[in-house]
């Protein structure tokens, strides 16, 4: 059955066929879902992987444009730093001269409903001034050649961890593990392991907009993060079992200044447990803390956001049965560098983000749906994520509550960093569709330190002892 225009995926093997620039994939049922979840091998053959240098891009997207010509072919992405760009400065908008093709509004959104997530449709129905300005589609996503080389290797070596794909991935490093995915869990691992660069530093803010329109900046923190999975020269056995390590150091408000948070994200949740520690200056010691995972409330988001809504979805996959519903064309937030050249408060409207601040384009996305697994409990009973075919980052998320009512809607922004080259998820909006209000998180508009991709930091920086030492500075 085709659901919301998506091509259904029910198998373990994808065979791509080109028919007059229209792409379809035929499915061969080889392994049942239960076997996939129990640790079945997931690598594709060398013959299948060869498609990554032909009809598919190096990350597994369809290289050709669509039949209508509204999505262009991928020709390598945007890899040129703008003239005069200084590392660490805010990145300009390379497409500032593009004109709006048309706008989707509360009056006409039903005409485009098949290309919109459910959460966006609810915002159109609820707010007469909600709007999406649609621009020409720019397939700007790119990554370094060494990442593409790693992805080509991963395609034939990556597989589920012995404990099962729910718990982890083995045989992969330095690129998405499953460029030709066979199920929803593989697609979700691609999202979790998408390319951000090997390390980063920046100042980040969290803004809460209450249902009455009040805007409150709840925190500003300095983030230092390493992605050992993306260190040059790393192997599947050498990067240490944790693909992401981050330190958050609170800068403001004054009541939070000096607080710190350390988090490690594992590639295998059975062999390497989620690990997190929190520094509370008044106690002069470090305590174990909830990791960035599952439905633990984010203390900086006033109850609007859970830890697993970081990057629209983050952390453990074992609460859900993830199904790959297929691929479809959607209007999505993309190439939003203009957003970060504005003050955050200019971006925030009383009920939703300022439509003038955001850019939307037509792109193809993978649709993945997670329903609560047997024996698991989560405040979100069902999630639907829309993953960009050119980067694998989630662009949208729809979330339903325990009563089956659509509850939250998340959207990313996609920030272009051509000098890396990379396009990343960037800041996120998460709306409460039932009570009103929203959160603008991971916001680096106008912060003193722009998003800077760096060389890896000393490993000792990401330890509880290092975090504890900050309490006596």
Instruction: Say which residues have a Cβ less than 8 Å from residue 356's Cβ, sequence separation at least 6.
Output: 133
Instruction: Note the pLDDT of residue 313.
Output: 97
Mean per-residue pLDDT for 271-279?
95
Q: Does the pLDDT value for residue 6 go beyond 50?
A: no
Residue 144 exposure: Cα atoms within 13 Å on the Cβ side = 14
Counting runs of H as helices and runs of E as strands, what totals does the chain give?
8, 22
Q: What is the pLDDT of residue 290?
A: 82
User: Which whole number is the average pLDDT over 188-198?
Assistant: 98
pLDDT at 253 over 50: yes
For residue 90, what pLDDT is reported?
85
User: Residues 19-73: pLDDT tens digits?
Assistant: 333 333 333 333 333 333 434 455 899 999 999 999 999 999 999 999 999 999 9
| pLDDT (tens digit per residue) in 309-366 | 999 999 999 999 999 999 999 999 999 999 999 999 999 999 999 999 999 999 999 9
Pick from 73, 169, 28, 11: nearest CA to 389 = 73
Q: Looking at residue 471, what is its pLDDT?
A: 62
DSSP letters of 15-36?
EEEEETTEEEEEE---S-HHHH
Confidence of residue 448 (pLDDT cuts 50, 70, 90): low
Find the CATH number of the domain harbouring 50.
2.50.20.10
Question: What is the rounded average pLDDT of the residues 296-304?
Answer: 89
The stretch 170-193 carries a mean pLDDT of: 98
| Element (DSSP H or E) covering residue 48 | helix 46-49
287 against 14, higher pLDDT: 287
Q: How confident is the model at residue 138 (pLDDT cuts 50, 70, 90)?
A: very high
Residue 284 has a pLDDT of 76
| Reported confidence tier of residue 83, pLDDT bands at 50, 70, 90 | confident
Give the number of domains in the chain.
1
**Chain mean pLDDT for the chain:** 90
Q: Percentage of the chain surpassing pLDDT 90?
A: 82
> Looking at residues 225-245, what average pLDDT do you find?
97
Q: Which of 133, 169, 135 is nearest to 154 (CA)?
A: 169
- Mean pLDDT for the stretch of residues 149-167: 97
What value does the mean pLDDT take over residues 83-91? 83
Average pLDDT over residues 427-440: 97
Q: Residue 32: give the domain boundaries.
A: 1-473
Residue 64, judged by CB atoms within 10 A of its CB (0-12, 13-18, 19+), counts as: middle
């Amino acid at each position: 059955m085709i659901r919301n225009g998506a091509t259904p995926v029910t198998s373990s093997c994808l065979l791509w066929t080109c028919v007059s620039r229209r792409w379809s994939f035929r499915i061969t049922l080889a392994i049942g879902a239960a076997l996939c979840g129990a640790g079945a091998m997931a690598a594709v053959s060398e013959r299948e992987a060869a498609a990554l240098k032909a009809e598919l891009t190096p990350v597994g997207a369809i290289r050709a444009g669509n039949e209508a010509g509204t999505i262009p072919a991928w020709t390598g992405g945007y890899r040129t730093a703008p003239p005069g760009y200084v590392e660490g400065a805010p990145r300009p908008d390379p497409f500032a001269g593009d004109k709006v093709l048309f706008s989707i509004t509360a009056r006409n959104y039903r005409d485009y409903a098949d290309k919109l997530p459910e959460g966006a449709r609810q915002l159109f129905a609820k707010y007469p001034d909600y709007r999406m300005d649609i621009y020409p589609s720019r397939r700007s996503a790119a990554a370094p050649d060494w990442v593409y080389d790693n992805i080509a290797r991963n395609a034939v070596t990556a597989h589920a961890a012995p404990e099962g794909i729910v718990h982890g991935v083995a045989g992969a490093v330095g690129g998405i593990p499953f460029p030709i995915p066979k199920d929803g869990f593989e697609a979700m691992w691609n999202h979790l392991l998408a390319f951000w660069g090997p390390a980063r530093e920046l100042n980040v803010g969290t803004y809460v907009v209450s249902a009455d329109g009040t805007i409150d900046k709840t925190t500003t923190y300095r983030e230092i993060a390493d992605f050992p999975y993306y260190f040059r020269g790393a192997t599947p056995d050498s990067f240490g079992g944790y693909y992401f390590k981050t330190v958050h150091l609170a800068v403001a408000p004054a009541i939070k200044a000096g607080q710190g948070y350390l988090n490690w994200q594992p590639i295998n949740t059975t062999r390497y447990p989620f690990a997190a520690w929190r520094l509370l200056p008044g106690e002069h010691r470090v305590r174990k803390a909830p990791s960035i995972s599952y439905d633990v409330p984010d203390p900086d988001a006033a109850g609007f956001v859970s830890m697993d809504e970081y990057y629209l979805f983050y952390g453990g996959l074992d609460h859900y049965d993830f199904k790959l519903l297929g691929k479809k064309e959607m209007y999505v937030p993309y190439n939003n560098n203009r957003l970060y050249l504005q003050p955050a408060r200019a971006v925030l409207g009383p009920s939703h983000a300022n439509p003038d601040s955001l850019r939307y384009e037509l792109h193809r996305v993978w649709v993945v749906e997670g329903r609560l697994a047997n024996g698991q409990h989560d405040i979100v009973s069902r999630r639907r994520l829309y993953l960009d075919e050119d980067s694998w980052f989630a662009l949208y998320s729809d979330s339903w509550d325990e009563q089956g009512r659509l509850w939250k809607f998340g959207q990313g922004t996609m920030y272009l960093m051509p000098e890396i080259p990379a396009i990343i998820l960037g800041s996120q909006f998460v709306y409460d569709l039932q009570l009103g209000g929203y959160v603008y998180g991971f916001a680096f508009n106008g912060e003193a330190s722009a998003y800077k991709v760096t060389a890896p930091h000393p490993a000792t920086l990401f330890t509880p002892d290092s975090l504890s030492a900050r309490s006596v500075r």
